[in-house]
Structure 1
Amino acid sequence: MTDHLPMPVTAPLTLAQRAQVLNLVRRTARAEILPRFRKLSAHEVTTKTGVHDLVTEADKGAEAMLTRALQAMFPHALIVGEEHASAHPEIVEKIAEAEMCITIDPVDGTWNYAKGLPLFGVMLSILRFGTPVYGLLYDPMVNDFITAAAGHPAELVMPRNLRRPVQTSAGGAVEDLVGFVPLALVPEPKRGEMAATFPRFARVTSLRCACHEARMVASGHADFVLYGKLTPWDQPAGAIAIRQAGGHVAMLDGSDYRADRTQGFLLAAANEETWTRLRDLFGFLIE
């Protein structure tokens, strides 16, 4: 099997630029996200594609603040924020040709956030012609990041700039694995067959937050995550974080993952051996 999610050997940002981005995300959370947590009025929460697909004033305010600052820092970059792209989906078509694209999920886990659950995050990635080369997974409640850049190991960045590397688990046999599968995002004709695999695992669940699911896998606290709905803001930061933490990331059909892909299933696992076992188990999804 070929190595997936290939990375260039040089990081896309200087150390100073990475520090600027981290500080920007922290400031944005303090200004737009945390002050509204558990204080949203009914008119500040609306739906997009359905009753479970929510957007709040925090999502909109955070994305606007991040977009303005990032465009000033990187004037030639293509900025793709979830809320802007939801209203202007044609921008996604530009990702594959962009030498530098920055994707933003201003509040990942919006359903949790809107319901008052302290399990949400901010995700940012940098893409080079669709390939993730930098990822940031921020927990505003704890004020820490998991970050990863091309050619560098993934690390946990804590307050006062304390840092330590993160590493995926050892994986193992299917019956020993803990992972995340968003059953509601599996196509309905395959949902029953997918649910039938759950008893084979030690534990399978969903946090309704791609940011924290990816953080768990990158940190070795869970063994895999399967994504059934691909967007340029939900997966790339987690994909590079898991990859640079020692994991294996690829589309379920074995092809390389690119952030401009919007169809198919993405599987990220602790290592290639575990990924292969899971691919064999979940193969019915692409039959």
Structure 2
Amino acid sequence: MIEKFLAGDLSDVEEAVRKAAAAEIMPRFRQLAAYEIVQKNGPHDLVTVADRLAEEHLTASLTTLLPGSVVVGEEAVHADPSVLGAVRGNDPVWIVDPVDGTRQFVHGDPGFATLVCLAHRGELLASWTYAPALDQMAIARRGGGAQLNGSPLHCGSPEPGRDLEVATSHFDFTDDEQKRVLATLLTDGVAPRPCGSAGLEYLHVAQGALDALAFSWENPWDHAAGLLLVAEAGGASATVANEPFRIAGGNALPFAAARDAATLRHILDLLASAGRP
């Protein structure tokens, strides 16, 4: 069934993502009341009514499009951590972040996105990265390339001699050890900065507008769509143990994604140096 579904044009999935954003996210952009914003795990980890309703909308529409599939969404996992186990199951799974960059959304910044990735038995098959406030829709299909608003995406390679621009885990979401490891990127030839929406940072790498990413957390809804997008645009990714990132978890962290293999190797070598005497 999954093979037959993937053989189609998948335009119904794109339409479902657009409809969820139009119905549940954009009407609330810059219109949120205080009671519609809740802290989850601290003052920087926010959830809004838009997150919850958009995920419910997508759960209904995506499972209808692909009968027998299941959804692993950020908000569902927050409510019931056992939901995450579906990424290790045999059913096709939609990995969903309804509003990636909720902090930006809450503050009226257009730099947020809806992320959807279809996976099966750990393999990333297709992804949708939609930034509704920016009118950007990036789509990737395993073996089929990546596009932004219908135009092909290519990571390319960084310009020789220029500092590598690297987005890293935001310090608001890292502990002291993670900060220590990420600090290895504060070196000549590298210009690190805190990330915004993870999904949009992956898009920036796929566009060739950002050279690399270095992340210290592994929530699949933050990374699945973007990892496939970068891969299909010609980029590369791996964990600090030089292993592929596994959406089921248990990864050696941090991990990185980059425009090309040479840039990835350089960033991973720097990160790995934190563990050397």
Structure 1 length-normalised TM:
0.88
Q: Secondary structure at the match of 2:103?
A: helix
Say which of 261, 264, 279 aligns to 2:268. 279
Q: Secondary structure at the match of 2:41?
A: coil
- Contact 2:37-2:48 at 8 Å conserved across structures: yes
Q: Secondary structure at the match of 1:226?
A: strand
Structure 1, gaps ≥5 residues long: 1-9, 158-162
Say which of 132, 143, 154 aligns to 2:135. 143
Q: Post-superposition shift, 1:71? A: 1.4
- Contact 1:172-1:274 at 8 Å conserved across structures: no
Q: Post-superposition shift, 1:202? A: 5.0
Q: 1:51 to 1:106 in 2, by over 3 A?
A: same
Matched, 1:214 2:202: yes
- Contact 2:238-2:257 at 8 Å conserved across structures: yes
- Contact 2:68-2:91 at 8 Å conserved across structures: no
Q: 1:183 to 1:31 in 2, by over 3 A?
A: closer
Q: 1:198 to 1:173 in 2, by over 3 A?
A: farther
Alignment of 1:37-52 (within 5 A): 37-52=29-44
Structure 2 length-normalised TM:
0.91
Alignment of 1:176-187 (within 5 A): 176-184=163-171, 185-187=173-175
Q: 1:183 to 1:91 in 2, by over 3 A?
A: same
Q: Secondary structure at the match of 1:133?
A: strand
Matched, 1:125 2:117: yes
- Contact 1:167-1:220 at 8 Å conserved across structures: yes
- Contact 1:183-1:191 at 8 Å conserved across structures: no
Identity value in percent: 28
Q: Secondary structure at the match of 1:259?
A: coil
Give deviations 1:106-154, integer Å, cap 9, x for gaps.
0000011011111100000011112211111111012221111111111
Q: Post-superposition shift, 1:171? A: 2.8
Alignment partner, residue 183 of structure 2: 195
Q: 2: distance between equivalents of 1:249 and 1:175?
A: 21
Q: 1: distance between equivalents of 2:206 and 2:175?
A: 26
Q: 2: distance between equivalents of 1:219 and 1:26?
A: 21
Matched, 1:56 2:48: yes
After TM superposition, the runs of 4+ consecutive aligned structure 1 residues lying more than 4 A away are: 172-175
Q: 1:262 to 1:186 in 2, by over 3 A?
A: farther
Alignment partner, residue 71 of structure 1: 63
Give deviations 1:11-39, integer Å, cap 9, x for gaps.
962334x1001111111111110110111
Structure 2, gaps ≥5 residues long: none
Alignment partner, residue 8 of structure 2: 15
Matched, 1:104 2:96: yes
Matched, 1:250 2:243: no
Deviates more, 1:46-55 or 1:198-207: 198-207
Q: 1: distance between equivalents of 2:255 and 2:34?
A: 35
Say which of 223, 229, 235 aligns to 1:235. 223
- Contact 2:212-2:259 at 8 Å conserved across structures: yes
Specify which structure has the bigger relative contact order, considering alpha-carbon pairs within 8 angstroms and separated by 6 or more residues: 1
Alignment partner, residue 261 of structure 1: 249
Q: 1:46 to 1:19 in 2, by over 3 A?
A: same
- Contact 1:174-1:277 at 8 Å conserved across structures: no
| Count of residues in Structure 1 that have an aligned counterpart in Structure 2 | 272
